[in-house]
Amino acid sequence: MSVIILGIESSCDDTSAAVIKDGYLLSNVVSSQAVHEAYGGVVPELASRAHQQNIVPVVHEALKKAGVTKEELSAVAFTRGPGLMGSLLVGVSFAKGFARSLDIPMIDVNHLTGHVLAHFIKAEGEENKQPEYPFLCLLVSGGNSQIILVKSYNDMEILGQTIDDAAGEAIDKCSKVMGLGYPGGPIIDKLARQGNPKAYTFSKPHIAGLDYSFSGLKTSFLYSLRDWLKEDPDFIEHHKVDLAASLEATVVDILMDKLRKAAKEYKIKEIAVAGGVSANNGLRNSFREHAEKYGWNVFIPKFSYTTDNAAMIAITGYLKYLDKDFCSIDLPAYSRVTL
């Protein structure tokens, strides 16, 4: 009999529902919240309210697109955390109520695990290349920069992580200093495509092991900009493509230096990337170059899986379902948690 999983994601500012049947994606509906743009960042209370408005129509749309009735569902998987508590509670409560009313199992999913396991989502008519265990995954987002050793779908070890800012956070902050919009990542990416990545040099961290640090880069960017602006008040306007390209290149170098080190240390050539920053074209290109130069077998997610989405929650739910790894109705949401 087929296994059909409804996935629900509401950890931050995207309300999403997806349906996966036997590992194949049938639908993935995402409703993003434009309300935060005016504030330059996500406002938790507004996010929670928007999730409440969106959750029912988004789930309805996901089932409709998938051509699946709620009675056909095998289980409901939901993001338990990490994320904003007010946002998480909407998805968690909805999922629990929905599963209970249908008398089917509920499955809790760690959002970070979901990002990593998005590489196992299959789509009809596609190549569906999947990493083999053990593989390394660079998880880079607004809140995380980690190198993860993935031994199986439910056994992951963090080999290194940021000791201060995450890569996405550093990019967003530098972009804010330049007076660009929010979030800065996609804007920097677009500008960087037209600029010279070697135009400027910013400081890189010297940290032992496989950990990252991005706060020094942020300070170096800020101080350099301050000096240049003293000489030319229109410096940013005149040089923004080169600034973006150089900033992006520095972040990519920092990320890839440690990833190469991890690949060498653990003798692994199956290498994946995940999370919001994995949408970055400079980083994606660097992965392709590393594949060529070092014989890596690289896994770069579709753009739709780089941002928050329920497809990754549904695939994780599917894998847990096969092991009958269900949760009980009294399981709370958690705002902070590691893998």
Residue 216 contacts ligand KG4 per CB under 6 A:
no
CA distance linking residue 300 with residue 274, whole number of Å? 7
Question: Near ligand KG4 by CB under 6 A, which window of 46-54, 60-68, 183-191, 256-264?
Answer: 183-191
Question: Near ligand KG4 by CB under 6 A, which window of 185-193, 205-213, 234-242, 286-294?
Answer: 185-193
Residue 141 contacts ligand KG4 per CB under 6 A:
yes
CA distances from residue 231 to 79, 203, 225, 234 in whole angstroms, order as listed = 49, 21, 10, 9
The DSSP secondary structure of 115-170, one letter per residue, reads HHHGGG-B-TTS----PPSSEEEEEESSS-EEEEEEEETTEEEEEEEBSS--HHHH
Residue 280 contacts ligand KG4 per CB under 6 A:
yes
Residue 275 contacts ligand KG4 per CB under 6 A:
yes
C-alpha triplet 323, 327, 333: angle, nearest 5° = 130
Residue 165 contacts ligand KG4 per CB under 6 A:
no
Residue 185 contacts ligand KG4 per CB under 6 A:
yes
Phi/psi of residue 289, each to 5°? -65, -40
Binder among 186, 205, 266, 331 for ligand KG4 (CB under 6 A): 186
C-alpha triplet 197, 222, 160: angle, nearest 5° = 70
Residue 277 contacts ligand KG4 per CB under 6 A:
yes
Binder among 7, 143, 160, 317 for ligand KG4 (CB under 6 A): 143
CA distance linking residue 173 with residue 178, whole number of Å? 9
Q: How many other CB atoms are found less than 10 A from the CB of residue 18?
A: 30
Phi/psi of residue 20, each to 5°? -125, 130
Binder among 189, 211, 242, 270 for ligand KG4 (CB under 6 A): 189
Instruction: Write the DSSP symbol of residue 80.
Output: E
Residue with tokens 């995954």: 137
Binding site annotation covers 253? no
Binder among 172, 211, 242, 270 for ligand KG4 (CB under 6 A): 172
Binders of ligand KG4: how many residues, by CB under 6 A? Answer: 20
Give the β-pairing of 297-299 and 106-110. unpaired
Terminal Cα-to-Cα distance of the chain (whole angstroms): 31
Q: CB of 141: closest distance to ligand KG4 in angstroms? A: 3
Binding site annotation covers 246? no
Question: Near ligand KG4 by CB under 6 A, which window of 44-52, 98-106, 180-188, 239-247?
Answer: 180-188
Comparing CB distances to ligand KG4, the nearer of 84 and 99 is 84
Binding site annotation covers 97? no
Considering only residues 45 to 84 of the shown chain, the ones binding ligand KG4 according to CB under 6 A are none
Residues 140 and 169 sit within 8 Å (Cβ to Cβ): no
Site string for ligand KG4, 8-27 (x = CB under 6 A): ----x---------------
Comparing CB distances to ligand KG4, the nearer of 169 and 321 is 169
Binder among 82, 184, 195, 301 for ligand KG4 (CB under 6 A): 184
Residue with tokens 């509920």: 106
Q: CB of 166: closest distance to ligand KG4 in angstroms? A: 7
Q: CB of 188: closest distance to ligand KG4 in angstroms? A: 6
Binder among 108, 165, 211, 308 for ligand KG4 (CB under 6 A): 308
CA distance linking residue 106 with residue 99, whole number of Å? 6
Side-chain-facing half-sphere of 242: CA atoms under 13 Å: 11
Binding site for ligand KG4 (CB under 6 A): 12, 141-143, 168-169, 171-172, 183-186, 189, 275-277, 279-280, 307-308
Return binding residues for substrate: 139-143, 172, 185, 189, 280
